[in-house]
Amino acid sequence: MNVEQLPFEVQEFDRLLAKPNSDPTGLAGFFNSGEVWVGRVPARLDVMGGIADYSGANVCEAVLGRGMLMALQARTDSTLRIRSIQVGRALPVETRIPLSYFNTGDGLGSYTQVKELCHANPLAFWAAYIGGSIFTLLKEESVKIPYGFSMLLLSAVPMNVGIGSSAAVEIGTLACLNAYLGLSLSAKRIAEPGQMAENHIVGAPCGIMDQIAITSGRKGKLTHILCRPGNVMGEVEIPPGTGFVGINSMVRHSVGASPYTDTRIGAFIGKKIINDNRALTGGAPLSYLAELSVAELNGKFAKLLPATIIGSEFVKQHRTHGDPVTTIQPDAEYRVAGPTRHPVEENERVLKFIDALRCAHEGDGKSLVTAGEMMYGAHDSYKNNCNLSVEEVDFLVDAVRKRGPASGLYGAKITGGGTGGTVAVFGTLDALRDEIPQIATEYSRRVGVMPDVFEGTSSGAMEFGARRYTFAANGWRGAQG
């Protein structure tokens, strides 16, 4: 892989690593002359599926051109020294975590203990994604780390904008350790502890979609994942002459925030109501909501689902909603019918979307319009069934919809956890090049700032592998490890 082929983050890392010892903006004071291992992961674009992942739906994800890099070097003590650098945006931040903080008595502590540790200092909470991933690897894979590491997170994407940045930090950490320690973990065994770290230490009740997408994704392809619990079903070719970009609404979002969490709780409440009804007639319980077809939902169960329900009233009737990573609040009012309907319908939309792209790849131009209609349907469901859209995002989606297929733009939708974040847009390459800047300019007049546009494609964590850097008389040299 020559310099021109290296991802942007690797080129930036090489530039910082090559700076002389006298330059405080370089890495000479962070790394010594021992070997350094580097993993790199892309951001992801949630093309279709989104929040239906925790309900066992099919999803379809893309990998973007920018992402994050994690570099590590062994230390002589038992400390994690972690530095984070946002390329071109902010000052570096740094913290340290003694590995002994992960222990209690003669063994590893609990997830609760480490979660409390990471949440105790809001100024250092960002390190929970890294430290939590390391702890989960130790806990779930019985890995032994006899010493600490100096770890550098170099990010070329903003956080909390709905492109899987938190998952990228987790997977970057795990992929780098996988290479350095020679663990030979599969993509799934890298993705799973990443999700567990976010669920049980960071405290965000996400599904596994993001972690799998950026671990297994391949440059120039869409990844089809069945989230039961998380299996890559194959790759989807992007039709010739078309592509996907993301437009940042500049409205920050978080899957730990209450709208996303409440929607998830509503979906699990709906599943519990349905399963209790199925039990009355001897039917087997659903493991995932998306096992239902839309016809079954409409014909058998829709009438059982309340529009909303108070948490205490649901618990009184059904005891538990069965979700291990969320807690029902007694006084909260949860939407039920909409959040239950969304993943069932979304699962079918995703499959129709994938079929449409395959037909379009074989030359059926009308299928491009069908694929776009599925994206609009997904957005409308986020908005109406889940109440997870915002005016700014609706403006961007409507700007694409108004231009339509006649201008080469086929579809758009909110992504990820909703309530802001990034809008995915599907269109011809010419239209994306010509129309998206116009939409961004229109939007900037509304919000007062020019939005980021996320484009391009790059390798997922497994496809990229790892790079090993060694120091010699003529400076640092990197090669694929």
Show which residues are catalytic. Answer: 210
Q: Looking up tokens 């007062």, which residue turns up?
A: 448
Structure tokens at 135: 């702890």
* H helix or E strand, kind and range, residue 107: strand 107-108
Residue with tokens 């290296």: 6
Nearest to 388 by CA among 262, 479, 303: 262
Beta pairing class for 79-86 and 149-155: parallel
Distance, CA of 276 to CA of 171 (rounded, Å): 37
Distant-in-sequence, close-in-space partners of 246: CB < 8 Å, separation ≥ 6:
45, 64, 162, 163, 415, 422, 423, 424, 425, 453, 454, 455
Helical spans, DSSP H, in 18-67: none
Cβ proximity of 251 and 419 under 8 Å? yes
Residue 102 CB partners (closer than 8 Å, separation 6+): 108, 109, 114, 134, 135, 138
Would you put residue 418 in left (φ > 0), alpha (ψ -120 to 50) or beta? Answer: left
Residue 325 tokens read as 């990573």
Strand 149-155 relative to strand 58-74, pairing = antiparallel
Q: Which residues, at least 6 apart from 472, have a Cβ–Cβ distance to it below 8 Å?
A: none
**Dihedral angle, C-alpha 270, 272, 274, 279, nearest 10 °:** 180
Q: Which residue has the tokens 């003694």?
A: 98
Instruction: Kindly state the helix (H) or strand (E) to which residue 445 belongs, with its residue range.
Output: helix 429-447
Region of 137 (left: φ > 0; alpha: ψ -120 to 50; beta: rest) is: alpha
Q: Among candidates 268, 398, 381, 247, which has minimal Cα distance to 326?
A: 268
CA-CA distance, 13 to 365, in Å (whole number)?
Answer: 42
Determine contact, residues 248/451, Cβ cutoff 8 Å.
Answer: yes
Distance of CA 48 to the CA centre of its chain: 13
Closest of 235, 245, 198, 197 to residue 213, by C-alpha: 235
Q: Which residue has the tokens 């979906």?
A: 267
